[in-house]
Amino acid sequence: MFKHVIVKTPGRSYVNGLTTSDLGAPDYETLLEQHAAYVEALKACGVSVTHLPASEEFPDSTFVEDTAVLTQEFAIVTNPGADSRNGEIKEMELVLKDFYKRLYSIKAPGTLDGGDVLQADDHFYIGISDRTNEEGARQFKEIAEAEGYQATIVPLQKFFHLKTGIAYLGNNLMVVAGEFIDHPDFEKYDKLTVPAEDEYSANCILVNDYVIIPKGYEETKRKMNQAGYQTIELEMSEFQKQDGGLSCLSLRF
């Protein structure tokens, strides 16, 4: 069970953040509404929320997931691979000191974004991407193994972050899209497969009794409901415009 989450309000500078999408400029008022709905959905899942104020100097800092990886026992502060985002970890480290005694960090020349780390029970999968390099992944694996977890490094072919295309729903069930559908590293799991046109819905989060998914993906929702999961749907358009998904907007622990 998750008891806490950390989220961060997007600032006005959000519209100048990093993106590879051609979906147009985000609308700030709509963005704030969508963020507020996200926070309400998390509260409905029964967690307490640490809500950080906006930081205009870091346009992408609402995507808090990239700054840390949290478990019930320890936290790893990352070393984000994008220069404009790297300073986001300072605030997060201070926040995490209030919650964790065992606090690790990824050190240069290693880089790692939290979006590249997926936890499935006692196993971490670490993507190597444009943001996470081999050294960052190696450091993460070493820390995770020393803490008694298994860890597998997964070089990405196309996805931006590992969790852009995969999510774990417990009960041995992986939501998979694109290059992860037939990936040997995920062979042992049952699969909920997301087709290419619905790929954005592969980034979803299990928070206690609910799976939060982006709105507008009926087939993904149907498959989840059929598998026995209750779903909460959220409009995510303004986050998608900046390459962000549901998991990126919170740290859950």
Of 79, 84, 111, 69, the closest CA to residue 14 belongs to 84
Q: Looking at beta carbons only, is 23 or 146 nearer to ligand CIR?
A: 23
Contact (CB, 8 A) for 162 and 125: yes
Nearest residue to ligand CIR, using CB? 115
Residues 82-121 that bind ligand CIR (CB under 6 A): 82, 85, 115
Report if residue 10 touches ligand CIR, rule: CB under 6 A: no
Rounded Cα gap, residues 83 and 123, in angstroms: 29
Question: What strand order describes the sheet that includes 150-155?
Answer: 117-120, 123-128, 150-155
Residue in 18, 44, 103, 181 binding ligand CIR, rule: CB under 6 A: 18
Q: Say whether 248 is catalytic.
A: yes
Rounded Cα gap, residues 152 and 145, in angstroms: 10
Contact (CB, 8 A) for 172 and 189: yes
Q: Say whether 183 is catalytic.
A: no
* 217: number of Cβ within 10 Å: 21
Rounded Cα gap, residues 33 and 39, in angstroms: 10
Q: Looking at beta carbons only, is 206 or 225 nearer to ligand CIR?
A: 206
Q: Looking at beta carbons only, is 35 or 85 nearer to ligand CIR?
A: 85
The interface mask with ligand CIR, positions 148-187, x = CB under 6 A, is -------------x--x-----------------------
Residues binding ligand CIR (CB under 6 A): 17-19, 60, 63, 65-66, 82, 85, 115, 161, 164, 242-245, 248
